Amino acid sequence: MSYTETMLEYVYDQYCLSYNMEETLDFIEDEIDFTREEIKDMIQHTIDYTKEQFIKDYNSLVEQFKSKVVFSEIDCKKEKIEWPKKSGVYVIWENDDSSLDNLIYVGMTGKFKRGKEKVIFNSGTFDKRDYRYTPYRFCESVKDGDKRFEFRYGPKGKNGGEQSKIKYQYDAYEEKICYSKLKIHCFHVSDNHREYYTPELLEKEILTKFLKSSGNLPPANNEL
C-alpha cells in the first residue's frame, strides 16, 4: 500500500469513528502533515468513492437477478401500486437509483419456518406491504385525502397501536414522498432454500453494505 493510500485509509478510519467532518478535522489536524483543507478533501474523496462502490455493487446484484429473470422494477405513478405476486426483497428509491443518498428503504417479505417434518416457506408477498403503517405507509386509501398516493415514513406514534389510530392523520408521519417520485426494485427470492439467497440474507446484505458505506441506515429503516 502506497503512502497516499495509507493516509487516505487513516483519515477515513478516523472519520468513521464519528461520521462528523469537523470533529475529525479537529482531532487529526495536528496529527499529520497536511492542511485542514487537504485532510477534508481526502475524507470527501473516500466518502464519494465508498458511495460509488455501493452503487456498483448494488447494480451488479440487480444484473445478477435480471439474468435469472427474477427482478422487477416499478416506476410509481399517482395510482395504486401493482406489485408482483412474489416474495423477496424490495428497495425503495426517491427519483432514481444512481446515488446512495436516494435510497429510502430496504425491506423483505417471506420467511422460512420450522414445520413438523420440514421447513416451510411463509410466502408473504410484496403486495401485502400496502397494509403496513409502521415504520412506513403506502397511502392508497380514500381516507388519506390529499395525502393519497404518498409514501410516508417516520411514524409519530409512540408505538404500533397508537400509530394505527392516527395513520390517516395529516401529520402522522415525519416525512413524505409523492408516488410519482418513487422507484421500487423487487428482487424475487425462491422458496427453494437451496438457493444462495433467502429474503433475510439479501435484505441484510444490502443494509450492511449501506451501513458500511454511509455510517447510517436508509432514512425509513430503523434497525438492522
Nearest alpha-carbon partner for 214 in 107, 103, 56: 103
What integer is the mean pLDDT of 83-111? 93
pLDDT at 206 over 70: yes
Condensed to tens digits (0 to 9), the pLDDT of residues 36-71 reads 888 888 888 888 889 999 999 999 999 999 999 899
Separation of first and last alpha carbons in the chain: 33
- pTM for the whole structure: 0.88
**Sequence spans of domains, the chain:** 1-69, 71-224
Condensed to tens digits (0 to 9), the pLDDT of residues 126-179 reads 888 878 889 999 999 999 988 999 999 999 999 999 999 999 998 999 999 999
Residue 208 C-alpha cell reads as: 450492511
pLDDT at 192 over 70: no
Question: What is the rounded (10 degree) CA torsion for 40, 48, 153, 72?
Answer: 180
Task: Return the pLDDT at 106.
Answer: 97
Contacts of residue 161, Cβ cutoff 8 Å, sequence gap at least 6: none
CB distance 89 to 124 below 8 Å: no
What integer is the mean pLDDT of 1-17? 78
1 pLDDT band (50/70/90 cuts)?
Answer: low
Cα–Cα–Cα angle for 100, 106, 110, nearest 5°? 155
